[in-house]
Structure formats: structure tokens, C-alpha cells
Amino acid sequence: MLGYDLRDEPWIPVRLRSGEQRRFGFRELLRRAHEIADLELPVPPAASGLLRILAVMTASIGGQRGMRLDGTGTARDAASWYALRQRVLDQGLFDPEAVDSYFDDPSRSGRFDLFSDDYPFLQDPRLLKECVDSKGAPNPSGVNKLVFGRPTGINGAVLFGHFTDSEPIPVPAAEAAWHLIAQLYFGPSGQCTPRRITEERAGSGDAAPLRKSISYFPWAPELFTTLVLAVPSPQTGADREAQDFAAWEGELLHPLKPLPPLTSPRRLLTGRFRHAVLLMPSADRRTVTDAYITWSTHDKPAPVWDPFQILDRRKKGEFQPREADGARALWRDLDSLLLKDSRRDVQRPPALEYLPRSLRSQLRVRAYGFDQDGQQKDSVWFQATTPPVLQWQEEADRAMAYHVRSCHTAAEKAGERLEFAAMVAWRIASDSGTDISPKAKIKIDRRKPGPWAGAARSLYWPAAEREFWKLAAPQEAAAPVERPFVRAALDCLDEAIGPANRADIRVARARNRARAILLGLLPRPAAD
């Protein structure tokens, strides 16, 4: 029967270093990884998951003299593993024979077919019999449920297209593969299509492992180096000695039995899914017409630190992955990517540890985030890339790492103070009963901030980013950093309040009071 073989079907959009845009399957992508400048998947959550999948493949393919980055051979201790990684990097490309050997291994026969009857890629064929209604008839979730951005059910809002469950539009197989990956890594929690395994017809599931998170990858000028650097090192904490299967290898797990322990790299990167999906193809296998999406396990997730995530300490003291925020630019995370884990409240992604010294000046950071809540709401996804900044990591350039942190801290303080000052100004201007004497305390109601705070905030952060990148240069490492951000905040405050010639005396006083609050951030000149 016809299939859709992800090894050779052109389903991954890429941009070559020559500028040419192409689509490759797994095999061609890895064989020509040294020629590829960037992935161009239009669904960033899918790109975030795809990089984890490719890292697992890279670990099995990348190696030398019988030793592989997945621990095969003797490269199990950290020192020998990093030495092996350097030798793989020095090769500059994947061995084409090793790529073919991986994909043509008889043990993986049929495992990369999107519509295989027995082992559809990253899917569970049992759902066809288990997702049924009370009469035993098929009970699919609908193709709209598969595609992020499409409305589903009777309450789904029409935001990105006029799709309805009564008139579903098939999805090309390549795009269905993108959304399959995105669902497995970023899918929702809560009610889902029921799955009948026992007498109980359970229809509720857990959130996917990367839901509402942001991932950071060291990003090289070509994909080959990016993928080699994405392979988790032996220091990730997951078990590298136990038998390790990727999600497309081994047998299907029983949904009611405990999960096997996490191993590295395969189960660490592809074995934490909480959803089970099955795609239903058209007769010619070129489109997906329907889909089943339900839970895959209710076993408690194993605690693990994903190698591409920043951990932040929360109020109760535990560390949790940093959450994606669609309104927060990547430069505001930069100090967390440069400074080592010696700090108390932030831990750098393991993927950014022990980077080759010879590559640091070329490496950027690519972030993929999906601003969601923990259940069903999806707000915005995004991707962003920094300039080459990893030569400023603390272990390589301590002065620049701490200078970047000082810049970020100054920018955050000015932003917070600007918002407060704008609320104070609005209170003075709008409430004639407010005491505006210089020593009087102005009480603000954060539930009623007025229009100036939001306007000033939206103006400030782009301006602060411009100032940040001016300061984030080695020749500015000793420069004072507060004044440029305060100056930017003052300009944004003025623009938010409006032209001075339209202001009445009360607005003028409000403006002056707000400016004084901002100027209070500047360090006082040293006494003579």
C-alpha cells in the first residue's frame, strides 16, 4: 500500500547556504546538513520538536571508529564523549553511508512511514479500535483538532481561518507531520477524545512535556554543527546505561502500565509524550482527512531537566522551566544564557554548557517559544535568534557576561519604574483630590493603571532593546549602563503622555512628578 515515507518525502522546508529554498526528507536533510543554513518550518513548536528528533538521529549517526554520540562504543564518560564530539565536528559533515545505514536498518523498516498500518511514525494505530463511542463506532477527534490555530468544537473561535468541524479541509501530509510533532510536544491538557481500554472510557489527559515553555539551542552557521551541538552530553542526568529507544523504535507502550525509566538521548528527547495521535490519510496518501488525538498515559511524569530549557526558581523554592512570553524579547533572557549555574535562582540550559572554544564566536542562540496556558488556550508562538553572543559566556569572558547582566538589570529596573511613574502621573492628572505636594505619597490602584502605563511600556521595550545592543559590545564593557535606559524611559513617558503644549497645569505637574521618579534611578554623583 502507498505510504508517506518521511525519510525521502520532501516535507521539511530548509534554506541552503546558497540561499536556495528546498524541502527535504530526513535522509537528504542529514546527508546535506553541512549545506543547510536554516530550518524554515513555519510552525515554531514543530521546529522545536523536530530539532529534538534530529538530535536523537544525530546521536546514532554521528561518530567515529565504532563510537557514537549516543554512547555506543566507549564514549560514555564525559571527557571521552566531548573528545568524540570534537572529532565529529572536525569532520564537517555526516558520513552518507552512516546516514543510509541508520534509515535502512531492517529493525527500523516501516518506522518512518507517516501512514504505516503497524508503526505509523510517532503515532498509535490502536486508537482506531480504542477511540469508539458507546456503540463501538469510530469516534475521531477531527482534523481541525490536529492543526494548531484552527477552531474546534462549537465554542472554537475563528481566528486564523474559516474552518468548521462540519466542513473539515484536509491537510497536506507534510503539514500534518509538522502539527503531529507540535501536538506531541505542546498539546493541551484536560478533556480529549475518550479512549476505551478498560470498562472505563477515560477522556482526560495531561499537558505535553514542552507546553507553555521556551527552548534555546546553540545555533551555528550551518545545520550540521547545530545538530551535533544539540546532542545531550553524558551530564544531562538521564540514564545512559539503560536500554534506550526512541519513540519510533521498540514496541508500543501499554497506556495503563508504568513508563520505562528515562534514558539519554532517545527517551530523554522523544519519550516524554503524554498524547497519542493517529492520522487518517486520504486514498492517495497525500493528505490527512481526519485524526484521533487522546491521552497516551496517566503515569506520573519523571522529573527531568530538558537540555534546552532555562530553569527558574519559583516561590516555593523548586526549579521550573522558564515559560514562554510572547511579549518578552529574547535579549531579556541573554544573561541567563551567558552566566553559569552558580547563581541561586536561574540555571542555564545544559545544551549551552561546554561549547567548543573554537566555535563560540560563531554561535548564536535560537529560541522557539509557545505562549500558552497549561490547559487549552494557545496565544502566540514565536522564534528568535540572537547575534553571535556565546563568546561572552562567563567561563570565556567573565567581564562581558556580567556587563550584559548589568545592562539587563538596568533595563528591567527602568521598565518597572516607568510603568509605576506613568500610573502615578495618571493618578495626579485624573484625580483632582490627589495631594501633589512634593513629599506626599501617591497611592495608585494597579487595577486602574490608566492609559499611559500601557502606552509607555509598549514604547519602552523596543527602545530599551536598541540601547541594550549598543551597550552590549566589548568596548562598552566598563561604561555606566543606567543613564541610556532612563533616558529611553523618559522619552517614552513623554510620548505616552502627549505633546507638552496640549497639557494643562495638572498634567504638567504629573509629568514632572513622573520624570522625577525615573531620574531617581540614576546614581548620585560622587561628593567632592
* pLDDT (0 to 100) of residue 241: 65
Alpha-carbon dihedral 159, 160, 166, 169, rounded to 10 degrees: -170
Please spell the DSSP secondary structure of 480-500, one letter per residue.
--HHHHHHHHHHHHHHHH--G
Closest CA to 401 of 448, 352, 443: 352
Q: Can you tell me the distance from the alpha carbon of 146 to that of 133, in angstroms, rounded to the nearest whole number?
A: 20
Q: Is the peptide bond before 265 cis (omega within 30 degrees of 0)?
A: yes
Cβ(131)–Cβ(125) under 8 Å?
A: no
Grid coordinates given for 471: 551597550
Dihedrals φ, ψ of 312, to 5°? -115, 140
Q: At which residue does the C-alpha cell 556565546 appear?
A: 390
Cβ within 8 Å of residue 8, ≥6 positions away: 25, 27, 28
Cβ(56)–Cβ(270) under 8 Å?
A: yes
Please spell the DSSP secondary structure of 180-201, one letter per residue.
HHHHHHH---EEEEEEESSSSE
Q: Report the sign of the C-alpha dihedral through residues 494, 497, 503, 509, in that order.
A: negative
Q: Report the sign of the C-alpha dihedral through residues 255, 260, 262, 265, in that order.
A: negative
Alpha-carbon dihedral 467, 470, 472, 477, rounded to 10 degrees: -110
Q: How far is CA 477 from CA 139, 363, 402, 473, 474, in A?
A: 62, 20, 9, 7, 5
Q: How far is CA 14 from CA 35, 37, 47, 413, in A?
A: 10, 8, 11, 40
* pLDDT (0 to 100) of residue 507: 86
Grid coordinates given for 63: 561518530
* pLDDT (0 to 100) of residue 164: 66
Residue 479: Cβ-neighbour burial (10 angstroms; 0-12, 13-18, 19+) = middle
Closest CA to 36 of 227, 229, 308: 227
Beta bridge partners of 219: 364
Beta bridge partners of 378: 372
**528 residues of the chain, pLDDT tens digit each:** 668 999 999 999 999 999 999 999 999 999 999 999 999 999 999 999 999 999 999 999 999 888 889 877 765 678 889 999 999 999 999 999 999 999 999 999 999 999 999 999 999 999 999 999 888 899 999 999 999 887 665 455 545 566 666 677 899 999 999 999 999 999 999 999 999 887 666 788 999 999 999 999 999 999 999 999 999 988 666 666 667 899 999 899 999 999 988 888 999 999 999 999 999 999 999 999 999 999 999 999 988 899 999 999 988 888 999 999 999 999 999 999 999 865 678 999 999 999 999 999 999 999 999 999 988 889 999 999 999 999 999 999 999 999 999 999 999 999 999 999 999 999 988 887 777 777 778 888 888 888 999 999 999 999 999 999 999 999 998 888 999 999 999 999 999 998 766 557 888 888 999 999 999 998 876 655
Closest CA to 51 of 316, 229, 290, 318: 229
Per-domain boundaries in the chain: 1-303+317-330, 398-520
Q: Can you tell me the distance from the alpha carbon of 369 to that of 212, in angstroms, rounded to the nearest whole number?
A: 7
Please spell the DSSP secondary structure of 199-223, one letter per residue.
SSEEEEEPPPTTTTBEEEEEE-SSH
**pTM value > 0.75:** yes
Cβ(359)–Cβ(90) under 8 Å?
A: no
Q: Report the sign of the C-alpha dihedral through residues 78, 84, 85, 86, in that order.
A: positive
Specify the amino acid at residue 183. Answer: Q
Pairing of the two strands 190-196 and 319-321: unpaired
* pLDDT (0 to 100) of residue 153: 55
- For the chain, give percent helix, strand, coil, nearest 5: 40, 15, 45
Coil, helix or strand for 53? helix
Cβ within 8 Å of residue 182, ≥6 positions away: 43, 45, 46, 49, 148
Coil, helix or strand for 68? strand
Coil, helix or strand for 369? strand
Q: Which helix (H) or strand (E) holds 143?
A: helix 143-146
* pLDDT (0 to 100) of residue 89: 97
Across the beta sheet with 378-385, the strand order is 214-219, 364-372, 378-385
Q: How far is C-alpha 405 from the chain's CA centre?
A: 22
